[in-house]
Amino acid sequence: MIKKIHILGIILASVLLVSCIEERLSADDTESASAYLQVRGNSLLSSTDPLDNEIKNLRILAFKKSTGQCVSNKLYSAELNDVINHPIDEGVYDFVFLANEPNLVSILDGLNGINDYADLGNITYPEQAFRSDVPVPMFQELKNVEVLPNRGGARVDGGEIQSLIELQLERLGTRVDIVLEGEEDLTDYFKGITFYNLPEGITLMSASNASLGRSKNRSFTLTDDAGYFTSVSPSLEQQSRGIVWVKKITRFILPFSNFSPEDDDSKAITLKVDMENRYSPSCHLKIQTKGVAGASKDNYTLPYNSALLLTGTIKAPLNLNIQVTPWGEEQHDWQVQNRYLNVSDINVNITDYNGARITFSSNMPVVKVLPNVIVGSGSQTMETGKVFNDLVLGTGETSTSRFAYTYDAVSGKGSGYMDILLDEYNMDMATFQTNPNGRSTVFRLVLSAEDENGGNSLQREITVNTSQNGIHFAANPWDGYTYIGAFFRENETGERIISMQLPKRTDGALGFWNVKVDNSYKGQVILSTTPSFDPYAGTDNPGRPELYPVRPNEYKTEELVSDGTEIKGKGRIYFRVAWREANNNSGNTGEKTPKYATLTVTYATANWEVSYKLYLRQGEADDYIMNKGTSIASGPLSGVQRSYARKVSPFNLIDPKMKNKDQNYVELYEQTDKKGAEFVDYPTQAGTFYQWGVNKADNTFLAYFRRAYHPAQPFNGTSPTGYWASDQAINKIPIWASSGAGATTDYEYGYGNEFEICPPGYHRPTDGYTNQISYNGPYPNYKWNGVYVDIDGNQVSQTNSSGNIAFSEWRQSLWKNPWQGETVPGNEQVKVGAGTSLVKTAVRERTSPAYQANTDIFLLFGLYADGYFDRRPKKIQSSTTSSVQVGVSVNSPSVAYRGTIVYNPETNASVFFPASGRRKNTAGQLEYAGEAAYYWSSSTAPKTPTWDGIIVRSVWAVEIGSWNPGHLHTLPEFGHSIRCVKDEISSN
């Protein structure tokens, strides 16, 4: 039975009427009874909202104390402060008072037909009776009331005689008010809220409605329910926390939800914040309660006669801090007395790419994370520091890079936060190979509030559900698995996630790291140690980075001081970076031009301390890396003006039919239209492979024209029939241009007309001439017994044709000092004059300079955060003939890899080339994926002898990767990537 609660001083606040019985009774109808009960509602509820106190009708039921028989059942209407004289004979009764009963036929019939007390238990008010647009149903029960004769008043439960009984009605519903906060302006996204899992009603005489279903939902939208929503300006306190958007949502009336056990989350009411075109966060409504021995636990009930104020910052997951404001003085056991430790959430989900922020408050001087976590539901433990990043306080520490608690001894209150982020527990390559499908582990982390001596502790256990789907790598500047840059389109300012594991130092301590925005860019770029709150980061379907802006961590002093331009941490390197605003740079022609910036990343591990630059780019427009018109400082073109530099696209090409396809795409190739390829969406995506060009004079090869080969399939093995054009039998020398000054019958012109796939306005870069053979350096370079020989074995004088590179768009666009010749990785043996008496085993000499890091070309090899590669799990690319490599979206046309940034050290302009590898010339096997990139030019190279004396046609290509960069003439049968440059003048 609902207990009598001595709190609300309400009652009859306005008693109008709608009678559901035959007669309409007024407040002074006394009939002929020998006595009456006089009641009055002359005081309001504790709520200051008149709607909460509104009463339209009051039913009075009286039951004989001795038998339970209903002897009086009347419905009244009255005005505020009117006295109701309820006629009844003298005697002892149990009274039930019902205000604002639902105006539903089934309810009215049930109440009118009450015969005895037990019948009340059969009355159920449905969920729709509890709404904001109708008065709240109310209830009070007075037991053992003696009505005295001759209208002499009444005595309640043996107490003093009262001539007038002041009722104290209790509401049978719950009021919910919500304040939503945003760290960004959410006006364009916020559309309303939805309550899920509401109970189907309440049973009149029971404090529990556990037996009723919970299938009801309610949605409230800005469009249809505007009266609930109010936009307000952030207070000074809110502004200090970085809040810029506040929405107050007022007075939802819900049926109470009471059940046992109180921590049964399957019966919890769920609130979802409805956001258009982005993730809609949600959470269970729950209240921290006092359990056994004062320990805290979750309470998912919403007891009757209760008002809740929910305040939450819209993130993912959504956390709501609930302030209990009962409609009266009853606490419902919601506040932990004497000692308390309140936390914003005790059950969170994270991947290895995102984190969870938990805020907490206490009246204890010390709050800390215990040094061990519990694994799963058993008793196994692990060191907290081996699982989560820097949460445990060291000796003398009051905060870490992920944890802080501030206590005010004067007020006796403190507050803090912790960002839960995986650390050493992240999977490395070896762990992933034993868990190729990822792994999920539940950890139970313990937060402890204590006095100064560590005693009198109050602890909260926080369940952290972790899922890991990919591989993580230790920060190492020499192995190519360190982040080297980040890319944003011109209108993008959302997060890019930079994450690298940092091994412990030799003394077992966590390594230190810091990141600074370099001086000239401090007003443009922002950093934060706050982890990503995208709940899907680290999966193959992450959220859009634009939905997760970057702001300084308000809990970190150094970030507040530096305004997000300098951050630091310990252990795992994890931070987010973004531009502060969209790029509005315009060039001389009015076209957008990219912006560039650099960060300085410094970290210390067990064996070294390293500092390097991380290159940022904002803008997808094609741009110069080495500026056109500048003078070349050294090399074969020393002193020459750089007239063939071109604006380079930041994206590889892909056939439109393969673009944005996942691993369910099964085709091995498509055929691209002339000038019909498209750019991929992200710089790290490999795009499709193309052969340079097949024999265009032989109709046998028409099916292979502009064939776009899948960037990650098929797996190694025998090439399917009709898959690969490996024997092209190109009889004449293929020339890209339609004609040329050096015309000869050995040439076949017009390959560009058939095989150019760059979109209109772009073309395949030159590497020398396009209308004749380009030697690009000393040739021949085959040396036998100290003399140079040609491919026929004849002794000849070497000619230096390095002047050819004056027409190379590849070399002038990327190289500060363009090289001559090709980069053979050391001298190699070839056979010349095969089949003749002049057969000789010659040495093919290197004709380009030996590579020296960051002298003639400036580059870094590693990971690149472009909003795609940094948000998805890195997995093993199994379809490669080379060593095991990793990528994201592996085995799909959308595959992406680490790769190489080429940059200009004077302007910091940069462009990224993914290490997409290539397809082998013989059968199209994938090789070197994740290790190197190969790109075609539009220039033809001289014929080349092989180790077995076969003379082959060659074209010029570029190799950019984890080993020496450079140029090579190679067989046109290989499958390479295509990178376009912007049309400026006609190619030679």
**Could you read off the pLDDT of 193-225 as tens digits, one per residue?**
999 999 999 999 888 999 999 999 999 999 999
Distance of CA 571 to the CA centre of its chain: 22
Pair 848, 797: CB distance under 8 Å: no
Question: What domains can be seen in the chain, in order of their start residue?
Answer: 35-171 (2.60.40), 173-330 (2.60.40), 347-468 (2.60.40), 483-618 (2.60.40), 630-982 (no CATH)
Which pLDDT score, from 0 to 100, does residue 335 have?
36
Which pLDDT score, from 0 to 100, does residue 962 have?
72
Cis peptide before 714 (omega within 30 of 0): yes
- Least confident window among 486-495, 870-879, 973-982: 870-879
Which pLDDT score, from 0 to 100, does residue 782 have?
92
Q: Shortest CA distance to 882 belongs to which of 852, 919, 856?
A: 919
Which pLDDT score, from 0 to 100, does residue 315 have?
65
- Least confident window among 198-207, 272-281, 701-710, 816-825: 272-281
pLDDT band at 442 (very low <50, low <70, confident <90, very high): very high
Give Dmax over CA atoms of the chain in angstroms.
143
Checking if the pLDDT of 47 tops 70, the result is no
Bigger pLDDT: 8 vs 636: 636
The CA distance from 449 to 336, in Å, is 13
Q: Shortest CA distance to 507 belongs to which of 596, 606, 426, 359?
A: 606
Checking if the pLDDT of 338 tops 90, the result is no
pLDDT band at 589 (very low <50, low <70, confident <90, very high): low
- Least confident window among 267-276, 421-430, 584-593, 737-746: 584-593
Average pLDDT over residues 319-324: 52
Checking if the pLDDT of 84 tops 90, the result is no
Which pLDDT score, from 0 to 100, does residue 902 have?
97
Bigger pLDDT: 806 vs 720: 806
Checking if the pLDDT of 883 tops 80, the result is no
Checking if the pLDDT of 508 tops 50, the result is yes
Q: Hey, what amino acid is at 75?
A: L
Average pLDDT over residues 963-967: 85
Burial letters 403-439, b for 16+ CB under 10 A, else e: bbbebeeeeeebbbbbbbbbbbbbbeeeebeeeeebb
Which pLDDT score, from 0 to 100, does residue 608 have?
77
Which pLDDT score, from 0 to 100, does residue 396 have?
83
Which pLDDT score, from 0 to 100, does residue 620 have?
97
Across all residues in the chain, what is the average pLDDT?
86
pLDDT band at 292 (very low <50, low <70, confident <90, very high): very low
Q: Shortest CA distance to 148 belongs to which of 163, 170, 167, 165?
A: 163
> Residues of the chain with pLDDT > 90: what percent?
58
Bigger pLDDT: 279 vs 303: 303
pLDDT band at 637 (very low <50, low <70, confident <90, very high): very high
Checking if the pLDDT of 757 tops 90, the result is yes
Checking if the pLDDT of 184 tops 70, the result is yes
Which pLDDT score, from 0 to 100, does residue 293 have?
42
Average pLDDT over residues 524-553: 93
State the DSSP H helix or E strand holding residue 432, giving kind and residue range, or none if neither.
helix 429-434
Which pLDDT score, from 0 to 100, does residue 30 have?
41
Checking if the pLDDT of 320 tops 60, the result is no
Which pLDDT score, from 0 to 100, does residue 128 have?
93
Average pLDDT over residues 322-350: 59
Checking if the pLDDT of 522 tops 80, the result is yes
Which pLDDT score, from 0 to 100, does residue 714 have?
65
Checking if the pLDDT of 661 tops 50, the result is yes
Average pLDDT over residues 88-103: 92
Checking if the pLDDT of 312 tops 70, the result is yes
Checking if the pLDDT of 856 tops 70, the result is yes
pLDDT band at 662 (very low <50, low <70, confident <90, very high): very high
Answer left, alpha or beta for residue 344, where phi above 0 means left and psi between -120 and 50 means alpha: alpha
Top-confidence range, 18-22, 274-278, 301-305, 780-784? 780-784
Q: How far is CA 591 from CA 184, 338, 564, 618, in A?
A: 29, 66, 30, 14
pLDDT band at 326 (very low <50, low <70, confident <90, very high): very low
- Least confident window among 89-103, 418-432, 774-788, 880-894: 880-894
Average pLDDT over residues 849-861: 90
pLDDT band at 93 (very low <50, low <70, confident <90, very high): very high
Average pLDDT over residues 532-547: 93
pLDDT band at 560 (very low <50, low <70, confident <90, very high): low
Checking if the pLDDT of 851 tops 70, the result is yes
pLDDT tens sequence across 808-849: 999 999 999 999 998 866 678 899 998 888 999 999 888 888
Q: Is 158 exposed, middle or buried (0-12, 13-18, 19+ CB in 10 A)?
A: exposed
Which pLDDT score, from 0 to 100, does residue 198 have?
94
Q: Shortest CA distance to 420 belongs to which of 354, 509, 472?
A: 354
Average pLDDT over residues 287-308: 66
Average pLDDT over residues 175-185: 87
Which pLDDT score, from 0 to 100, does residue 742 have?
67
Which pLDDT score, from 0 to 100, does residue 585 have?
79
The CA distance from 277 to 544, in Å, is 10
Checking if the pLDDT of 246 tops 70, the result is yes
pLDDT band at 359 (very low <50, low <70, confident <90, very high): confident
- Least confident window among 290-299, 328-337, 701-710: 328-337
Q: Shortest CA distance to 771 belongs to which of 750, 757, 756?
A: 750
Which pLDDT score, from 0 to 100, does residue 768 have?
97
Residue labelled with tokens 């959308």: 894
Listed in sequence order, the residues at least 6 apart from 589 whose beta carbon sits closer than 8 Å to its beta carbon are none
- Least confident window among 401-410, 695-704, 927-936: 695-704
State the DSSP H helix or E strand holding residue 499, giving kind and residue range, or none if neither.
strand 496-500
Which pLDDT score, from 0 to 100, does residue 706 have?
96
Checking if the pLDDT of 291 tops 70, the result is no
Which pLDDT score, from 0 to 100, does residue 587 have?
62
Q: Hey, what amino acid is at 425?
A: Y
Average pLDDT over residues 6-25: 29
- Least confident window among 30-44, 388-402, 456-470: 30-44
Structure tokens at 325: 């404001």
Q: How far is CA 323 from CA 45, 249, 261, 533, in A?
A: 19, 15, 22, 24
Which pLDDT score, from 0 to 100, does residue 22 have?
29
Q: Shortest CA distance to 6 belongs to which of 332, 330, 331?
A: 330
